Amino acid sequence: MTYYVLFFTHSGAIKFDRKCRKMNIQCELMPVPRALSSNCSVSARIKCDDPVSLIDDEVEKIFLMQDDKNVLVYEAE
Please report the pLDDT score of residue 57 as a whole number: 93
Q: What is the pLDDT of residue 60?
A: 93
Residue 49's CB is within 10 A of a number of other CB atoms, namely 7
Cα–Cα distance for residue pair 49/10, rounded to 1 Å: 24
32-48 burial by CB neighbour count: b if 16+ within 10 A, else e?
A: beeeeebebebbbbbeb
User: For the chain, how big is the Rg over CA atoms in Å?
Assistant: 11
What's the confidence (pLDDT) of residue 40? 63
Residues of the chain below pLDDT 50: none
State whether residue 14 is helix, strand or coil.
helix
**Cβ atoms of 59 and 15 closer than 8 Å:** no
pLDDT at residue 62 in the model: 95
